Amino acid sequence: METNEAQAVFESKLANNEYIEPKDWMPEDYRKHLIRQISQHAHSEVVGMLPEGNWISRAPSLRAKLVLLAKVQDEGGHGLYLYTAAETLGTSRDEMLDALLTGKAKYSSIFNYPTLTWADIGAIGWLVDGAAIMNQVMLQRTSYGPYSRAMIRICKEESFHQRQGYEIMTRMAFGSPEQKDMAQDALNRWWYPSLMMFGPPDTESPNSEKAIKWRIKRETNDQLRQRFVNQTVVQATYLGLKVPDDKLKWNPEKDGYDYSDPDWNEFKNVIKGHGICNRERINARQKAHDNGAWVRAAANAYSQKQNQQSEAA
């Protein structure tokens, strides 16, 4: 097929809300854009295991430990679905991991903040998974088939994660005064980093225009951030907690809350690698990668042997 004709087929699939599949023709920029976004998303899931993983051995009950363990394992699974989706675009797992470990690829800014108390585990489930779902519900309808299908499955699990976090917050907010203080302190520290998860303001988001044109993203960073604020303020009110923003005010004209922006200089600093935990996170991933070398070698040797046997048969 001539490129012009192939381009027309691509455009018409987008216009008709049909999926683009791995073997379909696609513009090189579309492929690169997807590899960038999906691999960064995968890295976020895998690095996101670290702040919560810290608390598995310190969970306050056996039930809490089991639930947290299951959640952290789910995040690892999300990383695998997403790496696999990115591989269908012609990149390899090794290339993606190399980009993460050498600092060439980003992962979500949120995971560069420390988890200081058990209430932080509640805040991560409530706010971080809450923000992730807000963004990922739209990605279930993204134009690239393998990414969309991965997101459908991930969203089901993320809903459970969000409830797990809100349950912890509910217990603490309605618990002793000390527990309530811990819940408030966690909200104070995680609120603005959660708003940063949606990315820079639309006016400073270089990738948004193409992402919307190609139906990779269906809504902009600011639209999703606004929806998250509207939803979360109501949940905080139920908990009797105060969102740490004196400018927060219902605005009937926009049918949403006015709110203060996060500190965008802090955001830029964190994504450049200078957040509180950036170095610790990459070192932990590097260590896990090195310790897993023998597993990768054994899996490769096994699969080569299987191939040889099936060729000989």
* Footprint on this chain of ligand FAQ (rule: CB under 6 A): 36-37, 40-41, 44-45, 48, 75, 106, 108-109, 124, 128-129, 132, 135, 196-200, 205-208, 211, 217, 221, 271
Residues 239 and 171: their CA atoms lie apart, in Å, by: 9
Q: Which is nearer to ligand FAQ, 91 or 108 (CB)?
A: 108
Q: How far is the CB of 307 from ligand FAQ (least distance, A)?
A: 35
Q: Which is nearer to ligand FAQ, 196 or 243 (CB)?
A: 196
Q: How far is the CB of 222 from ligand FAQ (least distance, A)?
A: 10
Residue among 144, 82, 87, 140 nearest 108 (CA): 82
Q: How far is the CB of 2 from ligand FAQ (least distance, A)?
A: 31
* Residues ≥6 apart with Cβ < 8 Å to 117: 182, 185, 186
Q: How far is the CB of 195 from ligand FAQ (least distance, A)?
A: 9
Determine the residue type at 102.
T
Q: How far is the CB of 311 from ligand FAQ (least distance, A)?
A: 40
Residue among 243, 222, 117 nearest 179 (CA): 117
Determine the residue type at 278.
N
Q: Which residue has the tokens 């949403």?
A: 256
Q: Which is nearer to ligand FAQ, 14 or 249 (CB)?
A: 14
Q: Which residue is nearest to ligand FAQ (CB)?
A: 48
Q: Which is nearer to ligand FAQ, 103 or 240 (CB)?
A: 103
In this structure, the dihedral spanned by the alpha carbons of residues 261, 263, 267 and 273, taken in order and rounded to 10 degrees, is: -170
Q: Which is nearer to ligand FAQ, 207 or 260 (CB)?
A: 207
Q: Which is nearer to ligand FAQ, 37 or 226 (CB)?
A: 37
Q: Which residue has the tokens 């420390």?
A: 114
Residue 9 φ/ψ, nearest 5 degrees: -65, -45
Q: Exposure string (b/e) for 16-31, b if CB count within 10 Å is 16 or more?
A: eeebbeeeeebeeebb
Q: How far is the CB of 30 from ligand FAQ (least distance, A)?
A: 13
